[in-house]
Amino acid sequence: MQGTWRWNVVFGMTGIVLTVLFSIGNNPLSVIMLRSLYAFIAFFVLAYPIRYVLAFILKPPAMIGDVQENEETKGSSLDLTTPDEGEDLNDLLKAQMLGAANPAEQEQQSSSNQEADPAFRPLAPPQFVSTTNKQPEDLAKALRHLTGE
């Protein structure tokens, strides 16, 4: 059964309020109280079929081929593992760095690059040269070149 008995009490109180509103001007207080008690009982009992019908109407349709889990096993396990894709990622980065579309072209390019430029090493840039042993004329020339004079 959907919901709790509190919904039935709310329906019963609704019956009391409606009975008092419709009979306050025509009946004495004792008759209003007795009819309010009857209305509470009637609305309380009628709330069960109303709740059942609403639960049946509002229930989402079951997916075809969807396996229903037991209530005891729902949420008891959590799988946080992801597949290891380190090698694939490294291959893609190497291919992008070398500009190849597939691994076969990558191997051909890497072998041809090694033959053409053996001093090139990826991710190993040349070190900056210090200015301690430079001539002042060379430094002034470099500064003019950088400033555009």
Which of 64-73, 85-94, 105-114, 136-145 shows the lowest mean pLDDT across its residues?
Answer: 105-114
pLDDT category of residue 83 using cuts at 50, 70 and 90: confident
Q: CA-CA distances (angstroms) from residue 61 to 56, 68, 133? A: 10, 13, 82
Whether residue 121 has pLDDT greater than 80: no
Q: What is the pLDDT of residue 65?
A: 54
pLDDT at 10: 93
Q: How do the domains of the chain map onto residue ranges?
A: 5-58
φ/ψ (deg, to 5) at 129? -95, 135
State residue 68's pLDDT score: 61
Note the pLDDT tens digit of each residue in 1-56: 566 788 899 999 999 999 999 999 889 999 999 999 999 999 999 999 999 898 88
Q: What average pLDDT score do residues 79-105 get?
A: 72
